[in-house]
Structure 1
Amino acid sequence: MEILKDKNFLFLFLGRIVTNIGDSLYYVATMWLVYELSQSSFYVGLAGFLVLVPKALQFLTGPFVDKWDIKKILVTTQLLQCLLLILIPVAYTLHFLTVPFLLVLMPCIAIIEEFAYPTQTKALPLILKKTDLIKGNSLFSFAYQGVDLVFNALAGILVALIGAISLFIVDSVTFGIAAMLFSFLKIPKKRKAQLAADVREEAAFISYKRDLFEGFSIVFGSLLWVFLLGSVVANFAIGMTMAILPSFANNIGGVEMYGFLLTAVSAGSLIGALLGSVLGKFRVGVISIVCFALGAGSWTLSALIGSPIISTVLFGLAWIPIGAVNVLFAGIDQAVLPNHVLGRVNSVMYSISVVAMPIGSLLGGYLATTMSSSTIFAFTGIGVFFISLVWLAHPDLRTLPKAHDIDASTFKINTQSFDHDTGKEAPFG
């Protein structure tokens, strides 16, 4: 591919892949180690909560990413993760590796990640021509899904073969390699200088508050809040599932099953994303109800059957309709929302929906102390079915037409109350 001949992009792309590999290995190994040390899903749920909370607060890192040097952020974040991860084998060797130690370390690493990924995305338009941005983003997206698909499964197998502690040493090295790759980047000085010149802290803060308020106003002043309700419920269920997944995997096969179940999530989501365009041929209201119902049914059966192979396959199948509908919803958002408010509305919806994941993780871990992981797993499948019920009960959603027939008025979005050049609220009259 022509774009890969650009050495600057190649270093960024390879660094992205290596970072993703490191994150996949780290997540599987750490969550399993917490379960292995504690033998309690409650601590796994707490660990999930601590890892996911920084994602809900990602908007706080934006001003820093805009202000700081891109190359320094990329290199520093990878080196910090490299150093923090090597502390785990050191702690094990010195006999002070405990669950509280891991619970302090994990959110620190999660916070660093919230600086790393936005900075990688921001670097892309600085080193690529405008005409190459779509190709670059596509490669980034494919690499992210592909790495998750392969290394979630591989991480589980490696933990079973060499142990979690040894895997952390390997993981630490991957982040060191990523730091080296990012160090070869050359961010164009003129663009970097112009970017820095455009940053005005006080004005940016005022603009941020205004945009945030407008984002909330649009979401809760239209039918988009019902989309948000479905996303919140789904992410809450996902958070609960991830908290008890190590325990469930251990019951049906061990740590390698944990990796396979996570791989099933990535595989199902990827297949669903590829099929998303097909759903555009059907009425959105009907197809959404059907897809979430099918996903919930497959999800619940995966928990109830409890077979290593069948459960993994069914869990993967559950994510196909969910992944497909998510792609459909993303396209609808882009079609019905004016471009000048799209970013702020999406950020509001993303932040609110993601908040449900750490809460679900914490609750899932707690409930696992009073009931079996299989029961909770099945219950979260029913939670996904709740989305179908909401759409079925809501007349405006139930009767939504095909995607290409949907516009802003369909969702009762008042696009005339916002000035299209500035994004400020326009005076009436």
Structure 2
Amino acid sequence: MSIFRSLRHYNYRLFFTGQAISLIGTWMQRVAISWLVYRLTGSAFLLGLITFLSLIPSLVLAPYAGSYVDRHNKYKVLVITQVILMLQAGALALMIWFKVYDMFWIAALSLVQGLVNAFDVTARQSLMVNLIDDKEDLPNAIALNSSMFNAARLIGPALAGVILSTLGEDICFIINFVSFIAVLGCMVMMKLKITAHQKSAENIWVDLKKGYDYLKSSPDLASMVLMMAASSLLVIPFTTLLPVFAKDIFNGNATTFGWFESAAGFGAFFGAIYMATLKGSQNLQKIVMMSGILLAISVVALAISPSLILALVCTSLAALGLMAQNSSINTYLQTHADDLMRGRTMSYYIMAYQGVLPIGSLLMGYLAHLFGTQVVVAFEGIAGLLIVAAFVYHEKHRNQLNTRAMSLN
């Protein structure tokens, strides 16, 4: 089938298989740690803080990581980061197994994960183009990668919900540790021929500034990155507050929280499948706008949902919009960025998404503590509509300038 055409490439097939298994474990751990923190503390603010610590390094390190990855072997960087993440997962699993419920160490290990992820995600995104022999299949590979991520988000939380309520949190952490064996095994089997770019003789910070200047001189790429940053700050943090909806607003338990995470994974999975069916000629800017509107309206609807079933449906629709928006921005950047600047361009995307998100999570967690979760989530949805309106205005203005410049020439 054409939707799976990227899987005919040997290296991508191995990458896809290993990541699919590992990500199920990752999502199980994410659900388990969110539930554990909220069960022990009952604090929406601490929920936001743990997310903040696991993602904030991307804000500081992502541009540096992009420059570093552009200078080094992306494959080797990815292997090293996966080994370190496996050790981090093992340390967390041991701690929970022996019931050492110390928020300081949970926070510290979350920070370590964030530091390593800044390099891991950048290397993984930049390596994608080397896994595909036919570059026409790159957009499909990116979309399939998103499908795999969200299929794991569908399966992982569902399994975690069952395991949390039957076997306990520690089993979720152990499964995540073991799942890294799959991704490392698949990476060892790859047969990659990576063309090494000549290393810049300049200071890495000068090299990093070139990436910023490149983005500044490409307004179409810059507008996508800014759209991502605004959504990460003001809209996407609604996902951090899902345990509050599960436990307090709808009086549920760990299984209920698993339903919310699985509903999000369900919607995001179909969003990714939709993106995988698109052809390269598709208007990605239009998809960014329409998916942003769906995300915003669904988040407002979630905030005012009177029943659990309606809340789950709204969560699913919001995740569908979020997936389509993120995937279309990712695809646009990867297919329009210069090869020598791709790593740095993607690092700014990661900074805008994973780097700004923890600030948003911390801010929305604090505001939810002050004003109530439903009020804050409704505000996030309204902010999403304003962000889309600003993006539409910017694109319209940019197109008018381009038309005027062409007519003068």
TM band (smaller chain): 0.7 to 0.9
Match of 1:359 in 2: 359
Tell me how far apart the structure 2 counterparts of residues 175 and 87 of structure 1 sit (CA, whole Å).
Answer: 14
Could you tell me whether the CA contact under 8 Å between 1:216 and 1:345 is conserved in 2?
no
Q: 1:176 offset after TM fit, Å?
A: 2.9
Could you tell me whether the CA contact under 8 Å between 2:5 and 2:137 is conserved in 1?
no
Equivalent in 130, 133, 158 of residue 129 of structure 1: 133
Residue correspondence of structure 1 range 341-352 to structure 2 within 5 A: 343=342, 348=348, 351-352=351-352
Q: Does 2:100 correspond to 1:96?
A: yes
Could you tell me whether the CA contact under 8 Å between 1:74 and 1:179 is conserved in 2?
no
Q: 1:415 offset after TM fit, Å?
A: 9.2
Q: Which has the larger radius of gyration?
A: 1
Match of 1:215 in 2: 215
Match of 1:421 in 2: none
Distance 1:338 1:45, change over 3 A: closer
Q: Does 2:27 correspond to 1:30?
A: no
Match of 2:304 in 1: 304
Tell me how far apart the structure 1 counterparts of residues 318 and 81 of structure 2 sit (CA, whole Å).
Answer: 35
- Deviations 1:42-75, CA, capped at 9 Å, x for gaps: 1111111111213333232234434555554444
- Comparing 62-71 with 12-21, greater Cα deviation is found at 62-71
Q: Does 2:386 correspond to 1:386?
A: yes
If asked which structure has higher relative contact order (CA below 8 Å, sep 6+), I would say 2
Q: Does 2:160 correspond to 1:170?
A: no
- Comparing 118-127 with 365-374, greater Cα deviation is found at 118-127
Match of 1:387, SS state, is helix
Match of 1:202, SS state, is coil
Tell me how far apart the structure 2 counterparts of residues 273 and 414 of structure 1 sit (CA, whole Å).
Answer: 36
Match of 1:426 in 2: none
Q: 1:266 offset after TM fit, Å?
A: 3.5
Tell me how far apart the structure 2 counterparts of residues 44 and 123 of structure 1 sit (CA, whole Å).
Answer: 32
| CA root-mean-square deviation | 4.1
Match of 1:370, SS state, is helix
Q: Which amino acid aligns with 2:360?
A: G
Q: Which amino acid aligns with 1:241?
A: F
Residue correspondence of structure 1 range 33-44 to structure 2 within 5 A: 33-44=36-47
Q: 1:8 offset after TM fit, Å?
A: 4.7
Q: Which amino acid aligns with 2:148?
A: A
Tell me how far apart the structure 1 counterparts of residues 94 and 346 of structure 2 sit (CA, whole Å).
Answer: 42
Q: 1:107 offset after TM fit, Å?
A: 1.7
Equivalent in 129, 150, 162 of residue 155 of structure 2: 150
Match of 2:400 in 1: 410
Could you tell me whether the CA contact under 8 Å between 1:149 and 1:267 is conserved in 2?
yes
Give structure 2 stretches of 5+ with no counterpart: none
TM norm structure 2:
0.78
Match of 1:424 in 2: none
Equivalent in 239, 243, 247 of residue 240 of structure 2: 243
Match of 1:96, SS state, is coil
Give structure 1 stretches of 5+ with no counterpart: 401-405, 417-429
Q: Which amino acid aligns with 1:17?
A: A
Residue correspondence of structure 1 range 2-81 to structure 2 within 5 A: 8-56=11-59, 57-70=61-74, 72-81=76-85
Q: Does 2:98 correspond to 1:108?
A: no
Tell me how far apart the structure 2 counterparts of residues 61 and 186 of structure 1 sit (CA, whole Å).
Answer: 24
Tell me how far apart the structure 1 counterparts of residues 5 and 387 of structure 2 sit (CA, whole Å).
Answer: 43
Could you tell me whether the CA contact under 8 Å between 2:330 and 2:349 is conserved in 1?
no
Distance 1:171 1:353, change over 3 A: closer
Match of 1:198 in 2: 198
Match of 1:425 in 2: none
Could you tell me whether the CA contact under 8 Å between 1:3 and 1:132 is conserved in 2?
no
Match of 1:265 in 2: 264
- Deviations 1:156-179, CA, capped at 9 Å, x for gaps: 332223221121111111113322
Sequence identity, in percent? Answer: 23
Tell me how far apart the structure 2 counterparts of residues 246 and 350 of structure 1 sit (CA, whole Å).
Answer: 25
Q: Which amino acid aligns with 1:58?
A: A
Tell me how far apart the structure 2 counterparts of residues 131 and 228 of structure 1 sit (CA, whole Å).
Answer: 23
Q: 1:250 offset after TM fit, Å?
A: 1.3
- Deviations 1:72-129, CA, capped at 9 Å, x for gaps: 4444333322222222343245453311110000121222233334434444554553
Q: Does 2:374 correspond to 1:374?
A: yes
- Comparing 323-332 with 361-370, greater Cα deviation is found at 323-332
- Deviations 1:227-248, CA, capped at 9 Å, x for gaps: 6665433222345323322122
Could you tell me whether the CA contact under 8 Å between 2:64 and 2:205 is conserved in 1?
no
Could you tell me whether the CA contact under 8 Å between 2:237 and 2:364 is conserved in 1?
yes
Match of 1:140 in 2: 145
Tell me how far apart the structure 1 counterparts of residues 321 and 186 of structure 2 sit (CA, whole Å).
Answer: 37
Tell me how far apart the structure 2 counterparts of residues 415 and 346 of structure 1 sit (CA, whole Å).
Answer: 29
